[in-house]
Chain A
Amino acid sequence: MSAIEVEGLEREFKGGLKAVDGIDLRVEPGEVYGFLGPNGAGKTTTVRMLVTLLRPTGGRATVAGFDVAKQPADVRRNIGVALQEAALDLLMTGREMMELQATLHGIAPRSVRGRAAELIERVGLAQAQNRRVGTYSGGMRRRLDLAMALIHEPSVLFLDEPTTGLDPLSRTTLWEEVRRLKNEGTTVFLTTQYLEEADQLADRLGIISGGRIVAEGTPAVLKAEVGRPHLDITLLDEGDGPGDLARAKQVLERFGGERPPSEGCHLSVTVERGAADIASVVRSLDDAGLSVASLELVQPTLDDVFIAKTGRHLEGGSSGDAPPEEPAEPEPAIAAP
């Protein structure tokens, strides 16, 4: 049985806006599944449907074997959730928040304190546990949020952009925790807009744009689909620029195709075997009497994958022609009488 199974999932808001437009995916137990896409792609809407905060308007989904629409209470018993906003009560202490969460998840009263203390220790908040959450840094709040999501040892954990806004150190700490969870067998559904995060953590990725999955697979396979690594080479200028460039192109033909642009002392060439070809390239250029000033191996990125599938950059972008994640006012607020 898959940990998460989604077929034709849709979410349409009033006015015909389709934030999620027919998604199919499957996540196996113990897998870290990365859900990658720009702002407005439909990531958060998808997560909110899978954690039963939003009802799908089409398709079906099961989490931990339970239907999200028909068996939401069972779904909630088996999932841990850390949403995009670290929804914490700033006036409570870390310990109080953990103990409340333990109570809400039905942990026996005599076990609440112990379990809360255990998780607090695990995420490195023991020193701060009796301080109000309002005094915590962003990274500390995220760690508390994660600890709360794990209090009942869920089989499936949803992390919605867990490192957005965090400093590099906090981000790394959180990544280590995700890896640890994976080693413990927890299924993790992780949404992110950061390429490096997806690359580092995910066993498999789904790339979403405009409410649809445009690519799915392991990071390596996805990247290999769209390109090979290339070398950006700058030759030492020893007087005969055009001549040197021409000879370099000739020498490097056997490694792979030339990539534009080549001008002056710079050229770029695809290398089929990546880093394994570097030594041979340098030796060949040296044999031809050409000296290398600098050399950089550039791997295809998930951004390259995204561009190949959508024609747009992933990082720093948003789904320009897609509907927003959720409309600013999905339902009209009642006016005061």
Chain B
Amino acid sequence: MPFVARVSLALSRRALVNAMRRPQLLLPLVLIPTLMLAANVGGLNRTTTLPGFPAVHGFLDFQLAPAMTQSLLFGGVAMGVAMALEIEAGFFSRLAVAPIPRVAIVLGRLGAASAIAVIQMLWFLSIGLIFGAHVKSGLPGLLVTFGIGIVAGVAFAALGVALALRARNASTVQGIFPLVFVSLFLSSAYFPRNLLTSPFDAIARYNPLSYIAEGMRDPIVNSLSAQPVLEGLAAAAGLAVLAVGLSVVTLRGRLDEA
């Protein structure tokens, strides 16, 4: 196995074990979106009868995607906070003096993030199915939703890592938490784009989260169709490429400036 892969795997395993040993930090990633999902579905389930609302089996089917997106965004912030804490505590310096390819420091984090994203996706899809959600396109659709979600999870984690490397302190990274909600409100994650009030509908058109959420939602509420899925994948992958690039560049810049 190439050295960079070996080191990245070792660091991924370490970051994942670290996260698992602090369940009190992991739990909010799924708990808060789950509670919000329950409240949204319980409170607004009648909105599926509004003129212009797409035909769905139930509001739960519609709301699974924003819950997953929110959870993945929280995961990204959490990964950034974990990175920042390690920078503050000096563990990052230990990695920096080790003779490892620099990119492995980022890849290690992202490997752990993708594993956590799998857990997050499994959680929401499971509770969705338990509480009566209906995945219209069956197993292939589930896999598509999974795939988009994991790519998005990696993208969000990379953004968190880039911010941590730039800011180098956990409280700054923590401070972007409200932005998670803002970015989701300004998208069509929670509600159909045609029913958003102005100017939210216009802003949502340019928000990649809209396409990511719609890409994850479409296989659940419709049969698999190419456009929303491809758009979702493209948005997630594009964001991932940009974010990973940004985090690697920030890492290099941080290590060179030092």
Interface of A with B (CB < 8 Å)?
48, 51-55, 73, 76-77, 79, 81, 83, 85-89, 91-92, 96, 100-101, 103-106, 109, 132, 148, 331, 333-337
Contacts and interface: CB of A to CB of B under 8 A. Distances in A.
Interface residues of B, number: 35
The 7 closest A-B CB pairs, nearest first, are A87-B90, A85-B90, A104-B98, A76-B99, A77-B99, A103-B10, A336-B175
B176 interface: yes
A75 to B, nearest CB: 9
Given A87-B90, A91-B21, A333-B169, A52 B97 contact: yes
Given A53-B258, A336-B179, A76 B97 contact: yes
B206 interface: no
B17 A333 contact: no
Interface stretch (B124-132, B160-168, B185-193, B238-246): B160-168
Interface string B80-105: 00000010011111111111100000
Contacts of A51: 97
Given A55-B258, A331-B257, A334-B163, A88 B175 contact: no
A105 B168 CA distance: 25
B223 interface: no
A128 B3 CA distance: 30
A105 B258 contact: no
7 contacts: A55-B256, A88-B91, A89-B18, A91-B18, A92-B14, A101-B98, A104-B7
B102 to A, nearest CB: 9
A334 B97 CA distance: 24
B172 A76 contact: no
Interface in B44-100: 86, 89-100
Contacts of A55: 256-258
Contacts, number: 84
B168 A333 contact: yes
Given A83-B90, A91-B22, A100 B97 contact: no
Contacts of A76: 97-99
A73 B101 CA distance: 9
Interface in B14-56: 14, 17-18, 21-22
Interface of B: 3, 6-7, 10-11, 14, 17-18, 21-22, 86, 89-100, 163, 166-169, 172, 175-176, 179, 256-258
Contacts of A86: 90
Nearest to B86: A89
Contacts of A52: 96-97
A83 B91 CA distance: 10
A114 to B, nearest CB: 17
A54 B96 CA distance: 10
B17 A335 contact: no
Most B Cβ at <10 Å: residue of A79, A85, A148? A85
Given A85-B90, A333-B166, A106 B257 contact: no
B100 A104 contact: yes
Nearest to B14: A100
A209 B257 CA distance: 25
Most A Cβ at <10 Å: residue of B14, B92, B95, B97? B97
Nearest to A104: B98
Contact of B172 (A48, A105, A148, A334): A334
A333 B167 contact: yes
Nearest to A331: B257
Contacts of A104: 7, 10, 95, 98-100
A52 B11 CA distance: 21
A16 B257 CA distance: 16
A108 to B, nearest CB: 10
A101 B14 CA distance: 11
Nearest to B174: A336
Contacts of B94: 81, 83, 87, 148
Contacts of B168: 333
A103 B93 contact: no
